[in-house]
Amino acid sequence: MADGGELQTANATVPRPRKRWSVRVARIAGIDVFVHATFVLLAVWYVAGVIAAGAAPAEAFLPAFYVAAVFACVVLHELGHALMARRFGIRTRDITLYPIGGIASLERIPSEPKAELLIALAGPAVNLVLAGGLALLGAAVPGLMGLGHVRGVEQSLLTSLLGANLFLAVFNLVPAFPMDGGRVLRALLAGSLERARATRIAALIGQALAVSVMVGVLVLGWPVTLLFIGVIVLLGAGQEVRMVEREVALVGVTVAGAMETRLDVLSPLATLRDAERLLLASAQSDFAVVDREGRPVGMLGREELIGALAAESPDQPVAGPMRTRFPVARVDERATEVLQRTADLPWRAMPVVDEAGRLVGLLTIENVSELVMLKAAHAARSHAVAR
C-alpha cells in the first residue's frame, strides 16, 4: 500500500476516491479524520436553534464550544477502535464523522472473536474514561460542575459533556449492528458458534430491537429520531450478514477460482465502433484493453463507451476513453484479500494477471456474487442431508 491513500497495482497507481461531501479536518496517529457535511449542518442547526430561542450571539459561544467538545469525544471514541485494531495488525483507512456518530473504516473486520471484542469495546471504553475523568475533575474543583450553562441542553458545560460521553458509551453498546454492541455480541457468540451463525443471531437480535423501537415511535409516540435509528439498524444488520456470508463463502478461494475466463478483449488500436459491436455481441459490460504481449493497459466500461460515442466519432480508437489507472489482481491471490484491498475503490471488473503480467481473466462483482450464492446453496444442501 502506497502512502497518500493510493493502491499500487501491477501497472498503475490508483488513487483512492475522494470522500463525497466530506472534508478532511485532521490527521491523528497517521489516520485521516473527515467530517461529513451533514455533521456540520447539524452543528450549525443546533447553534442557530439556540440563538432563535432567544440567546444573544455572544451566548451561543458556549453551545458552539460544547458541539466542538462532543466532536472531539466522538473522534477519540473512533481512535480507540483504530488504535486497538492496530495492535492486531489491522490498519484504519480513515475516520468519518456523521450526525449519528463516527465510523472508523478498518481494512478488515477481525475474524478472531477476542480481537473483535477488544476492538469493539475500545470505543465505549474511551468514553467511559472521559466521563470518569470529568467526574473526578468536577469533584476536585468545587463549583465546576455548575459552571457554564449550556442553552439547549439546560445543564452546565461539564455536566453536559459527562452526560454526552455516558450516552455515547451506552448507546454504542446496544447489541445491534452497526453499533459496537452488535460486534461485542457477535464476538461473544463466536466463542462457541460459527462466525456466520453468530452474525445471523446477533443481526436478528438487533433487528428485533430496531422493530420494537420503530413500533414505539409509531404507536407510543417515542421521538421520531428513533425511527431513523431503527432503519439504520435494520439496514446495517442485513449488510453485516451479507458481508460475513461472502467472507465465509470465499475462505480458501483464490482469484483463479472466482474469475471469469471466457472473455473478449480489445486492442488499443480498436475503434469505438469495434467496442460497440463487442458490447452488443457479448454478455460483458467491461472490457480489458491489452497490448501485443497480452498485458492489460486499460479498461473500457459500458458507461465510458456510451459517453465516448455521444461525444466522438465511432472511428476514434478506444485508447482515448479507456481508463488507464485501475486495480489489478494476481491469479494466485486470495479472493478475500483482493476484495479487502480494493473495498473503497470504484470497480466492477478487475483484470487478473499471471506472473508475467499477462491477462488471464476478469474478476467481476457479478461473478463474486454468483460464487457466494452457489456456495450458500451447497452449504444449505449439505446441512439438509446431515439432518
Arithmetic mean of pLDDT, 167-190:
90
Determine the pLDDT at residue 387.
61
How far apart, in whole angstroms, are the C-alpha atoms of residue 352 and residue 358? 8
- HSE of 84, CA atoms in CB hemisphere, 13 A: 22
Determine the pLDDT at residue 295.
94
Q: Which residues contact 368 (CB under 8 A, 6 or more apart)?
A: 246, 250, 258, 335, 339
Arithmetic mean of pLDDT, 41-65:
71
Q: Which residues contact 285 (CB under 8 A, 6 or more apart)?
A: 279, 301, 302, 348, 349
DSSP string, 6-59: EEE-SS-EEEPPPPTTEEEEEEETTEEEEEEHHHHHHHHHHHHHHHHTT--GGG
The strand pairing partners of 155, in sequence order, are: 150
CA angle 107, 109, 113 (to 5 degrees): 150
Distances (CA, A) of 381 to 191, 246, 258, 283, 378: 25, 17, 21, 30, 5
Scan for cell 451479507, then name that residue.
242
pLDDT tens track for 115-133: 999 999 999 999 999 999 9
Long-range contacts, 310-316 (Cβ 8 Å, 24+): 312/272, 313/272, 314/271, 314/272, 314/273, 314/276, 315/271, 315/272, 315/273, 316/271, 316/272
- Antiparallel, parallel or unpaired: β 359-364 and 349-353: antiparallel
pLDDT tens track for 302-332: 999 999 999 989 999 999 999 988 999 999 9
Distances (CA, A) of 364 to 221, 243, 253, 254: 47, 16, 15, 14
Least confident of 85-99, 161-175, 298-312, 371-385: 371-385
Determine the pLDDT at residue 269.
92
How far apart, in whole angstroms, are the C-alpha atoms of residue 26 and residue 75? 10
Q: What is the mean pLDDT of the chain?
A: 84
The strand pairing partners of 334, in sequence order, are: 254
How far apart, in whole angstroms, are the C-alpha atoms of residue 245 and residue 260? 21
Confidence grade of residue 2 (pLDDT, cut at 50, 70, 90):
very low
Distances (CA, A) of 116 to 3, 71, 105, 120, 243: 26, 25, 14, 6, 15
Determine the pLDDT at residue 14.
54
Q: What percent of the chain has pLDDT over 90?
A: 37
Determine the pLDDT at residue 336.
85
Confidence grade of residue 365 (pLDDT, cut at 50, 70, 90):
confident
pLDDT tens track for 187-236: 999 888 888 888 889 888 888 988 998 899 888 888 887 888 888 888 88
Contact 120/81 with Cβ under 8 angstroms? yes
Confidence grade of residue 6 (pLDDT, cut at 50, 70, 90):
very low
Nearest in space to 168 (alpha carbons), one of 202, 117, 129: 129
pLDDT tens track for 234-270: 888 888 888 887 887 788 889 998 899 999 999 999 9
Chain centre to alpha carbon of residue 301: 25
Determine the pLDDT at residue 133.
94
pLDDT tens track for 10-39: 444 455 556 667 888 889 988 999 988 877
How far apart, in whole angstroms, are the C-alpha atoms of residue 142 and residue 265? 76
Determine the pLDDT at residue 376.
75
Q: Can you give the length of the chain in residues?
A: 387
The pTM of the full predicted model, rounded to 2 decimals, is 0.74
DSSP-based three-state secondary structure for 148: coil
Arithmetic mean of pLDDT, 327-353:
86
Determine the pLDDT at residue 88.
93
